Amino acid sequence: MTLPSKPGLKRLDAMTTLLEFMTAAHRRCDEALAAAEGEVCGKNWGAAAQKYQEFNAAMACHFAQEEDVLFPAFEEATGMTEGPTAVMRMEHEQMRSLLAQLASAAGEQDSSRFLGLSETLMILIQQHNMKEEQMLYPMCDQRLEEIDALIGRIEAVGSDSGLRSPKPEEGAP
Ligand SMILES: [Fe+2]
Ligand SMILES: [Fe+2]
């Protein structure tokens, strides 16, 4: 799907704003968590372990992309090192703690503990992502230069593209 390009609106026909790029990653993480929860609900523990691994890997990759590339770029451009990125880093640590607890619940095949923790994590993720999508990412798009190159550096940290392969429309070579 491509929109007709207009002068001065080149970013409308491609997914090249940081907000769009990072928001798409948030949605893939949400879908990966929902997939893991679905398998835990059905007590399909083999599939649940695999889906949880995929979710955990996607979250670890996304956190590294932000902490190692995006946040330092924002801090350098704005001089704000104790502002929004400090809050986001702290929230990442809270989520990492819950991810570790979830892994242990999955290992123990404890579905009620897993689903209780995953609900708490989902709420934290939604609150965190809302701050990034409504404030931090738009600020990055406004304040940082050479967004395409920045996105390239973010992608170089790692890819969660393995999560996309099950989608039927992307399955054909
Ligand atoms: Fe984040
Ligand atoms: Fe994020």
Quote the pLDDT of residue 4.
46
Residue ranges near ligand 1 (ion) with Cβ within 5 Å? 66, 88
Residues 102, 52: contact at Cβ < 8 Å? yes
Residue-wise pLDDT tens digits, 9-26:
444 445 589 999 999 999
| Distance from C-alpha of 93 to C-alpha of 168, rounded to nearest angstrom | 34
Q: Which of 39, 92, 84, 35 is nearest to 61 (CA)?
A: 92
Q: What is the DSSP letter of 16?
A: -
Residue 164 identity? R
Q: Note the pLDDT of residue 158.
A: 84
Residue 15 has what pLDDT?
A: 54
Distance 89 CA to ligand 2 centre (A): 10
How close is the Cα of 26 to the center of ligand 2, in Å? 6
Q: What pLDDT shows up at residue 169?
A: 44
Spacing, Cα 163 to ligand 2 middle (Å): 16
Q: For the chain, how are helix, strand and coil distributed in percent, rounded to 5?
A: 80, 0, 20
d(CA 105, CA 102): 5
Q: How far is the CA of 39 from the centre of ligand 2 (A)?
A: 25
Task: Give residue 108 CA to ligand 1 midpoint distance, Å.
Answer: 28
In contact, 105 and 113? CB cutoff 8 Å: yes
Using the mean position of ligand 2's atoms as its centre, give its distance from the Cα of residue 65 in Å: 9
Q: How confident is the model at residue 6 (pLDDT cuts 50, 70, 90)?
A: very low
Q: Where are the domains of the chain?
A: 26-153
* Nearest-ligand number for the alpha carbon of 30: 2
Residue of 154, 98, 164 lying closest to 127 (CA atoms):
98
Sign of the alpha-carbon torsion through 86, 17, 99, 111 = positive
pLDDT recorded at residue 16: 80
What is the 62 CA–ligand 2 centroid distance (Å)? Answer: 6
**DSSP structural state of residue 82:** S
The predicted pLDDT at position 160 comes to 61
Q: How far is the CA of 43 from the centre of ligand 1 (A)?
A: 30
27-80 pLDDT, tens digit each: 999 999 999 999 999 999 999 999 999 999 999 999 999 999 999 999 999 999
Relative to the alpha carbon of 95, which ligand is closest? 1
Give the pLDDT band of residue 5 (cuts 50, 70, 90). Answer: very low
* CATH architecture observed for domain 26-153: Up-down Bundle (1.20)
- What does the block give as tokens for 119? 């609900």
pLDDT of 173 > 50? The answer is no
* Predicted local distance difference test score (pLDDT) of residue 131: 98
Taking the centre of ligand 2 as the mean of its atom positions, its distance from the CA of residue 131, in whole angstroms, is 9
The Å distance, Cα 41 to ligand 1 centre, comes to 27
Residues 76-93: what's their mean pLDDT? 96
| Residue 71 near residue 153 (C-beta atoms within 8 A) | no
pLDDT at residue 127 greater than cutoff 80: yes
Q: Which residue has the tokens 């973010």?
A: 154
